[in-house]
Amino acid sequence: MRKLTIYIARHRHSTAHSAHSEPCSHCAKEIKRFGIKKIVYVDGYGEINKSLADKYHTDYVCPGYKEYAKQGVKVD
Ligand SMILES: [Zn+2]
């Protein structure tokens, strides 16, 4: 299988840089399920980070997941 990399970026009007785009553990699970091998994202300090999907671990909860939780949408 080809080596797939996902690049995650968020735009925010209030900053010239990419906003925090780290995937949460739920997003990461989906990323792995799709067979994506590498994750590239911007952390809370505006630094670009790269991680192998298999080695990726985080306690971060992304805004998308918070929104689903608020609306009672089940994603797992
Ligand atoms: Zn998420």
pLDDT at 1: 64
Where does 15-72 show beta strands of DSSP type E?
38-42, 48-52
Give the C-alpha separation, 41 to 47, whole Å.
8
| 70 to 10, 63, 66: CA distances (angstroms) | 21, 10, 6
The answer to whether the pTM exceeds 0.85 is no
Give 2 Cα–ligand 1 centroid separation in angstroms.
Answer: 24
Distance (Å, whole) CA 8 – CA 47: 12
Question: How far is the centre of ligand 1, averaged over its atoms, from the C-alpha of 48 (Å)?
Answer: 18
| CB-side neighbour CA atoms (13 Å) of 39 | 24
Query: In the chain, what are the domain boundaries?
Result: 5-70
Which parts of the chain sit beneath pLDDT 50? none
Ligand 1 geometric centre to CA of 66 (Å): 8
Using the mean position of ligand 1's atoms as its centre, give its distance from the Cα of residue 1 in Å.
25
Residue 76: its pLDDT value, please?
64
